[in-house]
Amino acid sequence: MKQFALARLAPLAFALTLIGLWQLLADLNLISPIFFPSPARAFAVLEYRLADGSLWGSLAGTSLRMVFGWLLASIAGVILGAAIGSSRLTRDLLDPTLEFIRPLPASAVIPVAILFLGLSNAMSLTVIAFGAIWPVLLASVHGFSTVQHELSDVSNVLGFGRRQFLQKIALPSALPDIIAGLRVSLAIALILTVVTEMQSSLPGLGWDIFFAQRSYRSADLYAGLILLAALGFTANHLILLLERRALRWRTLRT
């Protein structure tokens, strides 16, 4: 029990030490507070702006963009991954094109997206979906293409059609890969949410920190960063929770 408590407390102590060092550095005034605020100031601004409600709108905007962009990427990625992973024909057809597009940095697509969609949420979602689709797509292709051949045989003997095979056998079989891909995609979705907000002044945390930097309000900038980190942390943990539930069978072993 004591060991357990220590194992839980040590990481917390480490984080608090880092914040303490940060406070110490700021107190030494080596760097002007205009560029480098103390954690006390950053957290004070965070608290104040959460209390007066001015940060909630930004947090909501960023969260929604991240989640919807990620959902778009996930749905498209799984469907495309199933098509490619379970059929030689679609793989041969689509693979060369996808392999050509994949190395393209998602941020390089932003100008194109702006030309078509303007400085809008639609533009942001398109860019997020474009960048976040790859991890879930590749993981899905792998998952669907490595279904045990015994299971394909079982499916054929039982007379399952393509739809039933995908639904009852292939999708659950690929799920561990898919969920791993979903997690990586979510991290990319958050990055691109922030980038597109900065690029096109969409109301969100990305724009907030960009604007705070330009107006030399460093405490606001750091408050935004802290909130962004908390958002990413929470989202990742939600997926881990989903994973543990959906893949319960993997953790139950003799």
Partner 1 sequence: MQAIRKQGVAAQPDASGVPALSIRDLSVSFGAPSAGGLTVLDHINIDVRDGEFLCIVGSSGSGKTTLLRVLAGLFRPTQGEVLFNGQPIAGPSRDRAIIFQDYSKALLPWRTVRGNVALSLEARGIPAGQQDAVIDELLAKMGLRAAKDKFPGQLSGGMQQRVQIARCLAQEPKILLMDEPFGALDAMTRQALQDEILQLAAEKQTTVVFITHDLEEAIYLGDRVAVIGGAPARIVEMIDVDLPRPRNQLTTRENSHFLAHRHRLFELLTRHQSAQHGGIGIASRNGGNG
78 vs 169, which CB is nearer to partner 1? Answer: 169
CB of 204 to partner 1, least distance (A): 38
Report whether 199 contacts 22 (CB < 8 A). no
Report how far apart, in Å, the C-alpha atoms of 92 and of each of 33, 169, 181, 204 are: 58, 23, 22, 41
Helix extents (H) in 102-217: 110-117, 121-145, 149-157, 162-164, 171-200, 205-214
100 vs 249, which CB is nearer to partner 1? Answer: 249
CB of 238 to partner 1, least distance (A): 21
CB of 139 to partner 1, least distance (A): 17
Q: For binding to partner 1 (CB under 8 A), which residues are involved?
A: 148, 150-151, 153-154, 156-160, 168-169, 172-173, 175, 247, 249-250, 252-254
51 vs 157, which CB is nearer to partner 1? Answer: 157
CB of 175 to partner 1, least distance (A): 7
154 vs 238, which CB is nearer to partner 1? Answer: 154
CB of 133 to partner 1, least distance (A): 25
How many other C-beta atoms lie within 10 A of the C-beta of residue 31? 12
Report how far apart, in Å, the C-alpha atoms of 64 and of each of 68, 157, 234, 249 are: 6, 45, 14, 32
**Distance in angstroms (rounded) separating the CA atoms of residues 128 and 186:** 10
3 vs 251, which CB is nearer to partner 1? Answer: 251
